[in-house]
Structure 1
Amino acid sequence: MEIGLQIFNRQTKCLRAMGHSLIHQVQESKWQRIPQFFVLFLVVSAQYPMINYAIFHKDDLELVTGCMSIAFTNMLSSIKVLTFLINKIKFLEIINELKTMWQNSGEYGFNYIKGSNIMADRVVNFYFYSVFFTGFYFLLTPLAKIAWAKINHMPIIRELPMPMRFFFDAEHSPVYEYAYIYTGCVTVIVVSYVVAIDGLFIAFAIHLRSHFRLLQHYIENNSFKSNEAAINTNIRSYVKYHSKLLRLAEQICQTFKPIIFVQFLITSLQVCVLVYQLVTNMNNVMIFVVYVAFLVSILIQLLIYCYGGEMLKTESSMVATSVQISKYYNLSPKYRKVLCLVLMRSQKPVIVKAGFYVASLENFMTILKAAMSYITLIQSLEQI
């Protein structure tokens, strides 16, 4: 069906902008891969001037923490880009599998998943605009400061969108312009890949949730009073459907495992440095608002994985409830045993886990509580 081609619309646009064809190819030529790894090189190369900036200003904790919050974001983006390039075939397999499952889901299933796809698009579009405007703000601020200085005949201080210190003088023309373009390219790459990869995860989770709910609907609303051939077909289809969903969920978990691990690790570090920035800039409204917005965008990234993991955990376990409230008593003992296997397997929910981090709303709230504790601690230390 034609509408199935609109699945993961925003994510595919971002990936195409980064040079990905998104055609499920077994192997790409080295010429196709060179631009993609060059993009990765650009993002990774931005780490050096930021670390150099932090080292140069090591005696100013406020400048160091401000720089490290950006450096951590860039480091996380580098891991996401690298993971996608290494596992690109797996990403495309999941995309194509979900497309096929949607197109083969029947009239009721197709319309139900269509609603889930609309919801996924809205979530990803909201995420895109939040990330886009954050990046746009960082790009626009240095230009606005230069324009304001010229209008008011003040000394012009050329700043870059990111806190960087190169091994050459980047504060005077024309080197400043080249450095600004370089930083702008890195920002565009980071925004595109972050929206694409994070957006794919939440969209995968929303689509899988809709399939788990479809399976629950089919089991709950089957009277199991038809002839044995029809019952046999239905039970077999439920088992196959459930097995396919569990396999796909495991594939998603394995593909995103390194990203989720680094996301939790780096977000924890970012919360620490950003909380320090918030506490030290409470009297400066403009800077305070900027860091609040930056902290919110960081937490939204983590929330995407925690909410997606929570959805998969909840809906995969709800299949067991659907079996329990179904009209299984109309089945013969042979088919009851088969349905019981589905119930038993559903009692072990899908857990999105990476190392010792579990993507769940409970762990997301733990990080929020830790952030509030850091604020209280820093404020109490400053009063000593």
Structure 2
Amino acid sequence: MAKLFWFLRRDQPLELYFYVVPKLCLGIMGYWPGPNDKRRWSAYINFVVLAVGVATELHAGFMSARCNQISLALEILCPAFTSAVTLLKMFLMLRYRQHLYYMVAQQRELLFGSGIAGEAYEIMRKNVLMATRFNFWPVSAGFSTCSLYILKPLLLALLLYVQGRIDEMVWILPFNNTVPSVLLRSPYLLPTFVLSAYTGYITIFMFGGCDAYYFEFCVHTGTLFKSLQQDVQALFQPYEGELYLPRIDGVHAAHFERALVLLIERQNRIIELTHFFCQRYRTITLLHFVSASLVIAFGIFNLLTVGGSGLGTLLYVSYTVAALSQLLIYCYGGTLVAESSMELAVVMSTCPWQLCQPRLRRYVHLFILRSQRAVTIAVPFFSPSLVTFAAVCAPLANCILYSFPLDCWHSFQILQTSGSFIALAKSFQ
């Protein structure tokens, strides 16, 4: 077990942690970007398999809704919508394959290009370990949820068998796909069951891989800004405690100017890379938040209506936890980037920049002004942050624990749909 989850330990070389979780998840599905445009056939095969699974799940869900089986329809549509969003993510990952590889290569160069030592090494090791363990949590939560979906029909059949009610045994698929009845009989039942279960694991690894890529990029961007802060302090350290002006002049000014220009260029490069990432990932981020609202809504609705079904309750709790975990990944990543970029202004302003010549002071002032505007992972209508996540969780917890109506206009519209469904569910009780 220790060898299987080696990336969760602290004793591995630093570079091995770099994008290890997204590389593992996306690599299994054939979607990890490489240095050339060579694409694996497994990527296209998994795309087609999931597309068939999504189409059959959506059909089954809408048919149940037409028959007024609302609870069953939501139970089917909950994983179906997640799989549908995953299908769109797979398309976008293929489309931006080379761009994703470019961003990984640029971050690797910025982080490891000039070598790491001292305090910068410790900061980076702490951050990459945190990113790896944080990313592993939603992947493992999603994996357990998918496994519960697969085990549910097997456990129900086993229970009927143990009770001697073999005549009542009805074999169903893990995700209630609409399939011809002949595929639900021997000898086609087993491959049909395996194929339906496999679509769930495609969703988990692709969903987890895309989210892990997002969070890794945010963590490493925050690390780059932290490293830049240290270099700013190191640049001014020889002049700390000086009382007379000007002190940075002559040959010192020339060396100082070259070093300051390099820092400014590095800041610009990090900001430009972040904007490049936002343009490619904004659709994926927006799709994730929309799907999270639906998953939370359907999960809470079913949780409040399944009653005393222990296995069903465990299933919906697991699904809601997985959705909130993935939501936390996006919000925490956005906060790391925004706060670390703004801290640059604080660090620079506390340095003895007044010792510089007037021309160098203008460089410093422009550096501070640019740093005062946070670099955000912005998407249409909002920017992911822990403030957004807190606004999501607080009214959700109040609604569940204290039966308060869920009003989320003050936060972000991602829980509008969830609030409506939860209020509807409470009215049925």
Q: Tell me the TM-score normalised to structure 2 length.
A: 0.82
1:278 aligned residue: 303
Q: Are 1:210 and 2:217 counterparts?
A: no
After the TM superposition, which residues 24-63 of structure 1 pair with which residues of structure 2 at under 5 Å, given as runs? 24-25=35-36, 27-28=37-38, 32-58=39-65, 59-63=68-72
1:190 aligned residue: 203
SS at match of 1:276: helix
After the TM superposition, which residues 75-90 of structure 1 pair with which residues of structure 2 at under 5 Å, given as runs? 75-90=84-99
1:145 aligned residue: 156
Flag the 1:43–1:380 CA change in 2: closer, same or farther, 3 A.
Answer: closer
User: How many Å apart are 1:339 and its aligned residue?
Assistant: 1.3
After the TM superposition, which residues 35-184 of structure 1 pair with which residues of structure 2 at under 5 Å, given as runs? 35-58=42-65, 59-106=68-115, 107-108=117-118, 109-154=120-165, 155-184=168-197
Length, aligned pairs only: 378
2:377 aligned residue: 352
User: How many Å apart are 1:19 and its aligned residue?
Assistant: 2.7
CA–CA separation in structure 2 for the residues paired with 1:20 and 1:264: 22
After the TM superposition, which residues 315-334 of structure 1 pair with which residues of structure 2 at under 5 Å, given as runs? 315-334=340-359
Identity %: 19
After the TM superposition, which residues 204-353 of structure 1 pair with which residues of structure 2 at under 5 Å, given as runs? 204-221=217-234, 222-223=236-237, 225=239, 227-353=252-378
Listed one character per residue, the Cα deviations across residues 235-256 of structure 1 (whole Å, up to 9, x for unaligned) are: 0121011111101211221121
Flag the 1:153–1:75 CA change in 2: closer, same or farther, 3 A.
Answer: same
Flag the 1:308–1:21 CA change in 2: closer, same or farther, 3 A.
Answer: closer
CA–CA separation in structure 2 for the residues paired with 1:269 and 1:125: 23
CA–CA separation in structure 1 for the residues paired with 2:196 and 2:388: 34
CA–CA separation in structure 2 for the residues paired with 1:380 and 1:63: 17
Flag the 1:376–1:254 CA change in 2: closer, same or farther, 3 A.
Answer: closer
User: How many Å apart are 1:338 and its aligned residue?
Assistant: 0.6
Flag the 1:124–1:379 CA change in 2: closer, same or farther, 3 A.
Answer: closer
CA–CA separation in structure 1 for the residues paired with 2:32 and 2:73: 39
Structure 2: gaps of 5 or more residues = 1-12, 240-247, 400-405, 407-418
Q: Is the 8 A contact 2:304 2:426 kept in 1?
A: no
Q: Is the 8 A contact 1:264 1:357 kept in 2?
A: no
1:378 aligned residue: 424
Code of the aligned partner of 2:99: K
Listed one character per residue, the Cα deviations across residues 27-72 of structure 1 (whole Å, up to 9, x for unaligned) are: 33xxx35432221121121122212212332211110111111111
Q: Are 1:14 and 2:39 counterparts?
A: no
SS at match of 1:345: helix
Code of the aligned partner of 2:123: Y
Structure 1 stretch displaced more, 141-150 or 218-227: 218-227
SS at match of 1:357: coil
2:214 aligned residue: 201
CA–CA separation in structure 1 for the residues paired with 2:296 and 2:208: 20
CA–CA separation in structure 1 for the residues paired with 2:428 and 2:253: 75
User: How many Å apart are 1:262 and its aligned residue?
Assistant: 0.8
Q: Is the 8 A contact 1:268 1:367 kept in 2?
A: no
SS at match of 2:184: coil
CA RMSD of aligned residues (A): 2.1
CA–CA separation in structure 2 for the residues paired with 1:321 and 1:256: 29
Q: Is the 8 A contact 1:224 1:328 kept in 2?
A: no
User: How many Å apart are 1:364 and its aligned residue?
Assistant: 2.4
Code of the aligned partner of 1:319: L
CA–CA separation in structure 1 for the residues paired with 2:358 and 2:112: 34
SS at match of 1:356: coil
SS at match of 1:70: helix
Structure 1: gaps of 5 or more residues = none
Structure 1 stretch displaced more, 37-46 or 366-375: 366-375
SS at match of 1:365: helix
Q: Is the 8 A contact 1:206 1:308 kept in 2?
A: yes
